[in-house]
Chain A
Amino acid sequence: MDYTITEKILLSHTDKKSIRPGEFIWAKIDFSLGNDITAPIAIEQFEKYGAKKVFDNKRIALIPDHFTPAKDIKSANQVKRLKDFACRYRIKHYYEVGRMGIEHALLPELGLVKPGDLVIGADSHTCTYGALGAFSTGVGSTDLAAAWITGHCWLRVPESIKFIYKGKLPKWVSGKDLILYTILDIGVDGALYKAMEFGGSAIRQLSMDDRFAMCNMAIEAGGKSGIIEPDKTTFEYVKKRRDYKAKFRNLKSDKNARYSETREYDVSRLEPQVACPHLPSNVKPVSKLKNVKIDQVFIGSCTNGRISDLRIAARILKGKKVNSRVRAIIIPATQKIYLDAIKEGLLQIFVKAGGVVSTPTCGPCLGGHAGILAEGEVALATTNRNFVGRMGSPKSFVYLSNPAVAAASAIAGKIIHPGEIV
C-alpha cells in the first residue's frame, strides 16, 4: 500500500498494520506543548482527573509566551500556574521569561522536534513543525491533559491535499506569500480536516524560516496540518541542533499515495500578497492596494518573527525613517533571534529608524498587549490572522503581509511594494 508522508508518520505511531483516511486512531505522541493561555485549563483537567504523574516529563513543553512578561495580575496568575505545575512534575522544557520565546519558533530552534515526529500542541499554530517533516497539529487543552496522562491523543487520519509550487520565486516574494496565495485559492475552510502537503521546485528553494511561515498558516485554510518532505535543508537544520538518527528509511510520500486533490501553482510571476480585513483568505497582490494608510506595523509572531524576517526588514529600513504617523513594532520571536539581531546590528537599524523593539512575546498578534489598536486604526502585520478585533478594537483593521512589505510600508505610511522603496 502506498502512503502519503502524513499517513506514514501516523501509522508508525500506532500498533496498527495499516491505516486509511477517515479512521480514528489512538496515537502515541513524541512531544506536546501548552502555553500560558491553554495550559491552565489542561492543568485543571489533569488535577480534576486526580492524575499523580505525567507520562514523560521530557516530552512536555510549557511555554509562557502569550501574555508575557505578564501584562496584568490575572495573566501573572496563569503563568504562575504553569511554573508551579512545571516544578511539581519536574517538566524539563519550561522556559521562564528571559529564556522563553514564541513556542513555534522556540521548539524547532531548541531541536525539540525532528522529522517523522508526532507532535500535538494546545495552540492552533502547532502545525508549524510540519516544515521539519513532522506530523504536527493543534488540539485543545483537554486533549493536552489527556496526553500528559496517557502519552496519547485521538486523531482522525486526514486525507491529504497536494500543493505543488513551480518556478523561481521573484524578489521580495517569500513563503508567507505562497501560503497567503494558497489560502486565497482554497478559502479559509478549503483544507478543513485535511493535511496540506507542500512540494515542488519552489519549496525546495525555500529556507527553513520560509517553510515554517508556510506550514504555520495551514490552519488558516482549516488544515489539520501542513507538511513538507524533509530534504537536505531540513536535515542540516536539525543536525545543527540535536543528535539525529533517521527513524524512517524513506520519509517521503509514496509514488502512488492517494490525495483528495492536487493543485499546482506557477510562482515565477507572483507578487507579494496582502490579506485584507477581516479574513486571511481576503488576499490581493500588493500592487492592487492603492493608498491604504496605516497607523501601525508589526513585524514578529510565530509566523514571521525569525532572524531572516528581521534581516529583510532591516535591509529595507537601514538609513530610512519610519513614517511620522506610524508605530513600527518589531518583536524577535526568541531570545536567540534577539541576540543574533543585536550581534548583526539589526536592532540598531530598527531603533534608529524610529521603530520599537520588544522582548519575545506573542503580544499584539492576538491583541494581548504591546501594541493594541484603537478604534478606526489600521495595522499591517506579519502575523497570521486578521479577524475582527484580532489586534484590539473591534472597529480596527488588520492587513497581513510578509516582513519586506511591512518594513517598506512603515516608511511610506501606506501599504506599498518593497520595490518602490529599495
Chain B
Amino acid sequence: MIIRGKVHKFGNDINTDDIIAAKYLNTTDAKELGKHCMETIDSDFIQKVSKGNIIVGGKNFGCGSSREHAPIAIKGCGISLVIAKSFARIFFRNSVNIGLPILELKDEGKINEGDELEVDLTKGKVRNLIQNKIYESQAFAEFMQELIQSGGLMKWIRRKHNTK
C-alpha cells in the first residue's frame, strides 16, 4: 500500500489530550471528533489539514489516556498515516486495532513541516519527495503485520476464531 501526502510536524510526547480534549469525548462520531483534532496545541490545525496528509511526531506519540477517540479523531480529520520515533503503547495498539496506518521511524527528525512523503507501508520505505531522501522504517513484528493485513482486530478475530 502506497500513501502520499503532505507533512504536519509535531514534537515529543504528544498526548491524547492534545490529540482530542476530554470535553469532546461525549461523542463517538469520527467526523465530529475529527473537527477538534489537535485543537489544544494547534487551534488552526484543522484548517491546515487536507485529506491524505501525514502527521510526523517525535518520541512517545499518543501518551496518556486509552481513549480510542484519539486515533479515530486523527482518521476523522483525513490524516492517512502517523509516523513517529516511538508510540505510547495504548495508542499503538488502538491504531493497529482500528486500522489507522502508523510507522515507527528513527529518522523522523529529518522530515520537515510541509515536506511531501511517499510511503510504501508494506516495505516500510519512506521517500521524501522534497528533500529527495529515502528513510527505512522499523519493521513490525509478525503478529502485528497479521493484524494490520487483516484490517484490524475485529476482522482478525472473525477470521481466526470465527466466534459469534
Interface residues of A (CB under 8 A from B): 22, 24, 37-38, 40-41, 44-45, 48-52, 66-67, 71-72, 74-75, 77-78, 121-124, 126, 138-143, 145-146, 149-150, 154, 156, 188-189, 192-193, 222, 224, 279, 366-368, 385, 387-390, 394
Contact = CB atoms under 8 A, between A and B. Distances in A.
A37 B26 CA distance: 7
B66 interface: yes
Q: Which 5 A-B pairs have the closest CB atoms?
A: A74-B26, A140-B94, A189-B60, A24-B143, A142-B97
Contacts of B147: 154
Q: Counting chain B CB atoms within 10 Å of each CB, which of A22, A139, A140, A389 scores highest?
A: A140
Interface string B35-65: 0000011000000000000000001100111
Contacts of A22: 141
A139 B40 contact: no
Contacts of A279: 13
A43 to B, nearest CB: 9
A150 B154 CA distance: 11
Contacts of A390: 17, 22
B90 A139 contact: yes
Contacts of A156: 141
Nearest to A53: B164
Interface of B: 13, 15, 17-18, 21-23, 25-28, 40-41, 59-60, 63-69, 72, 86, 88-90, 93-94, 97-98, 141, 143-144, 147, 152-154, 157-158, 161, 163-164
Contacts of A45: 154
Given A49-B158, A142-B68, A143-B153, A189 B97 contact: no
A30 B26 CA distance: 29
A46 to B, nearest CB: 9
A75 B13 CA distance: 29
A24 B142 CA distance: 9
Nearest to B32: A74
Contacts of B158: 49
Nearest to B22: A366
Contacts of B97: 140, 142-143, 146
Contacts of A142: 68, 94, 97-98, 152-154
Contacts of A222: 60, 63, 88-89
A143 to B, nearest CB: 6
A149 B21 contact: no
Contacts of B21: 367, 389
Q: Counting chain A CB atoms within 10 Å of each CB, which of B67, B68, B69 scores highest?
A: B68
B94 to A, nearest CB: 4
B28 A44 contact: yes
B66 A38 contact: yes
B100 to A, nearest CB: 11
Contacts of A123: 65-66
Contact of A189 (B13, B93, B144): B13
B68 A150 contact: no
A37 B27 CA distance: 8
Given A142-B152, A142-B153, A189-B88, A124 B28 contact: no
A138 B90 contact: yes
Nearest to B60: A189
A72 B63 contact: no
A40 B27 CA distance: 9
